[in-house]
Amino acid sequence: MEIAATSTVTLSPPQSRQFSHTFSRSLRSLPSLRFNLSFQSTSLRVSATSSMSAFAAEKLSPETFLDKKESGILHFVKYHGLGNDFILVDNRDSSEPKVTQEQAVKLCDRNFGVGADGVIFAMPGTNGADYTMRIFNSDGSEPEMCGNGVRCFARFIAEIENLQGKHSFTMHTGAGLIVPQIQDDGQVKVDMGEPILRAEDVPTRLVGNRGESVVAAELVVDGVSWIVTCVSMGNPHCITFGTKDGQDLRVDELKLSEIGPKFEHHEMFPARTNTEFVEVLSRSHLKMRVWERGAGATLACGTGACALVVAAVLEGRTDRKCTVDLPGGPLEIEWKEEDNHIYMTGPADLVFYGSALL
């Protein structure tokens, strides 16, 4: 049977805000579900209710839910791409985001907010594109773009525009024009454009050692010499397959929370950097963990998966078409020689519809 639930959380001043979300799940043997929970202190009051009669979840859809217009309330839809999760906001009626960067930080908080790696805004198209995508990270910073976010954005647009079957459209991002294509099986294939390899355009202060590119160069991090390749997919990436002593990475053994921030804030990266730690399984199979600039450890990073395939090819480790295993699942990445473009294919899934009192 299908059960729908609602929950409400209220934070008292000085952090006064409220959010609610709806979700549904199939259960075989629960004739009724209803509970009430309350907890109160000087700073926090929490209440929750759940009832089969609260919503007809199967009747909810983004286009009808987001049509609600209530002052001070943000209606959103949450999606994830391999566990890299985002709050999607229908911002097509304005070129200014409906929430501030400070509000985005609160919304992304996994204990006191909705919980997400970032907030994505679907905005009017600019420079001839069909749509514009902007994103605020969970720390309030604004990256140029996000690969997993692009796939979630594409599925979100398909829902609110009621697009059926195979469709493609153009998106303007801080990294340039991106073209996602929704496949018949629901997966999203994205033309991510050409990689940027010129060191000062990545940007990195490391000196180019292959023309103007940084490929398999030495970078000292906290006293350890790592071998890195620097690539931009419109946002900066530092990719490493191991240290100078020749030890290949075993990414599951990596203490990511310790080493990740040291790469991100290294003086060689003036705009900070995303960092991919990569284990080579075969010429067509890679495994990675990522420390994202502004978000920390995440379950997936689409631009990172693209960047590491470029790095692997440049270092002679793999072919141009690879499966990349991320903590949240696999992506298919291809760097085509004929047009120098990188193509990423992977899923994007709806999680729930929600409302937040800003």
From 146, 230, 238, 306, active-site residue: 146
Beta bridge partners of 242: 227, 248
Nearest to 235 by CA among 266, 207, 267, 275: 275
Concatenate the DSSP letters of all residues of 290-310 into one string: EEETTTEEES--HHHHHHHHH
Nearest to 324 by CA among 275, 290, 297, 293: 290
From 108, 230, 301, 322, active-site residue: 301
Q: Which residues contact 10 (CB under 8 A, 6 or more apart)?
A: 16, 17, 18, 45, 46, 47
Beta bridge partners of 277: 240, 289
Beta bridge partners of 90: 122
The type of residue at 69 is K
Q: Which residues contact 242 (CB under 8 A, 6 or more apart)?
A: 226, 227, 248, 249
CB atoms inside a 10 Å sphere around CB 76: 28
Q: Are strands 44-50 and 2-11 parallel, antiparallel or unpaired?
A: antiparallel
CB atoms inside a 10 Å sphere around CB 211: 10
Q: Which residues contact 167 (CB under 8 A, 6 or more apart)?
A: 158, 181, 182
Nearest to 106 by CA among 19, 13, 23, 39: 19
Give catalytic status of residue 306 as yes or no.
no
CB of 82 closer than 8 Å to CB of 347: yes
Residue 44 main-chain phi, psi, to 5 deg: -145, 135
Give catalytic status of residue 301 as yes or no.
yes
Any idea which residues carry the catalytic annotation?
A: 146, 301
